[in-house]
Amino acid sequence: MSALLPVADGRTTWAAARRLLRPHRGRLALVAGLLLLAAAAGLAVPALLGVLVQTATTGGSLAVVGACVAGIVAAALAAAALGALGQTQMARVTESALAALREDVVDRVLHLPAGQVEAAGEGDVVARVSGDVETVGEAATGVLPAVTAALFSVVVALAGLGALDWRFAVGALAALPLQLWSLHRFRRRTPPVYAEARRAEGDRAQAVLQAVHGAPTVLALRDADAHLDAVAATSRTAIAAEMRGATLVGRFANGANLAEALGLGGVLVAGYLLVASDTAGVGAATAAALVFHRLFGPMGVLLFQADDLALAGAGLARLVGVAEGSPARPAPPGRGTGVPAITLRDAAFAYRPDLPVLDGVTLDVAPGERVALVGTSGAGKSTLARLVAGTLQPTAGRVDVGDVPAHAVHRTRPGRVVLVDQDVHTFTGPLAADLRLAAPDADDATLAAALDAVGATWWADLPGGLAEPLGPEGTTLRADQAQQLALARVLLADPPVVLLDEATADLPRSQQAALDTALDALLAGRTAVVVAHRLDQAVRCDRVVVLESGRVVEQGAPADLLAADGPFRTLWSAWRGAGGGDEGVTPPTSPRRSAAPLR
């Protein structure tokens, strides 16, 4: 099977981020202005404190002191308010950009070829649309605005230091080497420790779940102590791993603190030298030291949240990979270029290399023909239907729909093959919206006709009719009603090839006959493969194909197979013996041609 879904490279990710942010340029300029003002107002606090010190040391007037104090209070309030406003505005921008990306990703995932999703595994798809969206979302609304504000503060403060005297800025740079080294060491050492911690937590959860799920057995066998020991041992390992992580964080914090002390020392030494040489006043030296001290917070944010940003960046690349790397939204479904044939040539399939499920299946389904697949459970019927649907790819041989390999149909001719199985999903929302998934432009009369055609006349009794909300807020459909809804969607989508995998097996007996009539209408004029659980459904098809252990063992017109003493006749007798067709199914009796020989 092929690889996971694509991941965008750095350049594509940046380009996508820029494109997502482009509609918000105005607000981003506002954010930059607000954060710049906030940083400048923040800088005014130490600057005014410096003036205060200078005034006190040179015996200045009390009025200046009062003005400075008032200025400091005003600057602190303004810095806090502007910073908060800037960060909120930024969160609004990133939130709506992310909402656009999330819509894109979900839209693309819904239209991904089923084969690609199958190959990538549901886990990868779910991880992207939930886990990555969450990681990027948290970073976009929390970490990113905080880091941006911190970056503005650091840059503006360094510029302020330089404006006081460039030598203060040089003194402050004494912090940089140790900061970079600590960060480098932290980033190099943490991934294996965090991975180990996650593994250890997984083991602990597994041990707990095993003990809980198997509690009755564990207690019956008086094996509780052994299980408690296992939980305790895995817990100790998990705690040790957590502690190693916490130690690394502590060391990193120590390094960062030491770097700040070095930087502050550098600024103070520069101040001492400048004051001693009369190049700067005590007030300026005090202001410089306080400006640098104010940097501790923002620098901490930058150092400690860099990893969260890196993680969010990786998540963004995975989201952009799906949003940009997948084929475009398919054209609306429909007949396209006529009704195609289905051709299987020596097709084989195995879920595991050592266990072939289908072996050398050769089958031709003519355009418009309806073929029933029958056989005992596990014979490979559903697997064959999935090969034709293109959600699985043959491990050997060919499976074509028309002149295209089945697994490529979704990409090249979307909407031409529809598979309905027992696993029917009903979407929350109005009934009409659920139906319009298949035919977005259909009017209410068309939707109602489709429901009536598949026997779903119950829709007219719903309090809201077609507008009735489905799901917990409104009506919850029974399994058989959901299946009828799925069939109505097929009718509306109007695909030339329909695959039904025991799609009506859940229906109560009383409704089966009505639905069979509806199926006749639904499948007329389409190429259809019906995995038939009920053999009375098989005999309504043009041809019956009997599968046994992944091979075609018999095929022919239903009446012919019933007349012959072969596998289908055996299945039919067993089914009737088990109560199948109690309600008077009459097998077709007029053989049109003799049964095909066993393959």
Q: Which residues bind ligand ADP (CB under 6 A)?
A: 351, 357, 375, 377-383
Those residues with Cβ within 8 angstroms of residue 574's Cβ, 6 or more apart along the chain or in another chain: none
The residue (of 292 and 575) whose beta carbon lies closer to ligand ADP is 575
| Helix (H/G/I), strand (E/B), else coil: 539 | coil
Cα separation of the two ends of the chain: 29
Q: State how far the Cα of 82 lies from the Cα of 95, in Å rounded to an integer.
A: 20
In the complex, minimum distance from the CB of residue 409 to ligand ADP, in angstroms, rounded to a whole number: 20
The residue (of 179 and 383) whose beta carbon lies closer to ligand ADP is 383
In the complex, minimum distance from the CB of residue 349 to ligand ADP, in angstroms, rounded to a whole number: 9
Side chain identity at residue 558, one-letter code: P
**Pairing of β 370-374 and β 543-548:** parallel
**Pairing of β 527-531 and β 543-548:** unpaired
In the complex, minimum distance from the CB of residue 553 to ligand ADP, in angstroms, rounded to a whole number: 13
The answer to whether the CB of 309 falls within 8 A of the CB of 135 is: no
In the complex, minimum distance from the CB of residue 407 to ligand ADP, in angstroms, rounded to a whole number: 16
The residue (of 132 and 502) whose beta carbon lies closer to ligand ADP is 502
In the complex, minimum distance from the CB of residue 552 to ligand ADP, in angstroms, rounded to a whole number: 12
In the complex, minimum distance from the CB of residue 368 to ligand ADP, in angstroms, rounded to a whole number: 24
The answer to whether the CB of 391 falls within 8 A of the CB of 112 is: no
Structure tokens at 355: 């266990």
In the complex, minimum distance from the CB of residue 109 to ligand ADP, in angstroms, rounded to a whole number: 20
Structure tokens at 237: 């390992």
| Helix (H/G/I), strand (E/B), else coil: 350 | strand
Q: State how far the Cα of 511 lies from the Cα of 517, in Å rounded to an integer.
A: 10
The residue (of 58 and 362) whose beta carbon lies closer to ligand ADP is 362
The residue (of 83 and 375) whose beta carbon lies closer to ligand ADP is 375
The residue (of 381 and 413) whose beta carbon lies closer to ligand ADP is 381
Distances (CA, A) of 334 to 87, 416, 454, 483, 524: 49, 6, 19, 21, 15
In the complex, minimum distance from the CB of residue 383 to ligand ADP, in angstroms, rounded to a whole number: 3
Q: State how far the Cα of 162 lies from the Cα of 173, in Å rounded to an integer.
A: 11
The residue (of 292 and 572) whose beta carbon lies closer to ligand ADP is 572
Provide the Cα torsion 523, 526, 529, 531; round to 10°: -10
The residue (of 51 and 392) whose beta carbon lies closer to ligand ADP is 392
In the complex, minimum distance from the CB of residue 384 to ligand ADP, in angstroms, rounded to a whole number: 7
The residue (of 121 and 597) whose beta carbon lies closer to ligand ADP is 121
Element (DSSP H or E) covering residue 528: strand 527-531
Side chain identity at residue 226, one-letter code: A
Those residues with Cβ within 8 angstroms of residue 570's Cβ, 6 or more apart along the chain or in another chain: none
Those residues with Cβ within 8 angstroms of residue 159's Cβ, 6 or more apart along the chain or in another chain: none
In the complex, minimum distance from the CB of residue 358 to ligand ADP, in angstroms, rounded to a whole number: 8
Q: State how far the Cα of 338 lies from the Cα of 341, in Å rounded to an integer.
A: 10
The residue (of 8 and 545) whose beta carbon lies closer to ligand ADP is 545
Edge to edge, the sheet with strand 543-548 lists 417-421, 497-501, 527-531, 370-374, 543-548, 551-556
The residue (of 178 and 357) whose beta carbon lies closer to ligand ADP is 357
Q: State how far the Cα of 161 lies from the Cα of 286, in Å rounded to an integer.
A: 11
In the complex, minimum distance from the CB of residue 505 to ligand ADP, in angstroms, rounded to a whole number: 11
